[in-house]
Structure 1
Amino acid sequence: MHLFFAKRGNRLLNILLSVIFFARFGQILTSLLFKAGQPHALAIFHQTFTPFYYAAPACFYLYITGFLRDRKHLQYIEWLHFVPVLLAVIHVIPWHISPPDWNVVGTQLAQNGYFSLKAKTGLFPPYFHYVFRPLLVTGYLCATWIVVLRLNKKPQQLLDSEGRTWIIFFLRIATFFQLLGLIPFILRSLHIPYVNTCFIVLNCLVLLLVLLYTLHKPYIFYGYLLVAVDWTKKPANRQTGTDSILVPLETENPIRNLATAKKTNLIDAQLVDYALAMKEIMEREQLYLHHDFQIIDLAAKLNLPVHHCSFVINKQIGKNFRDWINGYRISHFLEQYPLKSDRFTIEAIASEAGFKSHATFYNAFRKETGLMPTAYFAMGISH
Structure 2
Amino acid sequence: MGQRTPLYDLHVAMGAKLVDFGGWDMPLHYGSQVEEHHQVRGDCGVFDVSHMTVVDVHGSEAHAWLRGLLANDLDSLDEPGKALYSAMLNERGGVIDALMIYRLADGFRLVLNAVTRKKVLAWLYQHQPAGAVEVRERSELSIFAAQGPNAREKVAQLLGQPRAELIHRLLPFRAEAEADWFIARTGYTGEDGLEIMLPAEQAVGLFNELVGAGIAPIGLGARDTLRLEAGMNLYGQDLDEQHSPWVSNLAGSVALEPRGRPFVGRAALEAELAQGPASRLVGLVLEERGVLRAHQVVRVAGVGEGEITSGSFSPTLNKSIALARVPAATAERAEVEIRGRWLPVRVVKPTFVRHGKILV
Q: Per the shorter chain, which TM-score range?
A: under 0.3
Larger radius of gyration: 1
Which structure's relative contact order is higher, taking Cα pairs within 8 Å and 6+ residues apart?
2
Higher percent of residues as strand: 2
More helix by share: 1
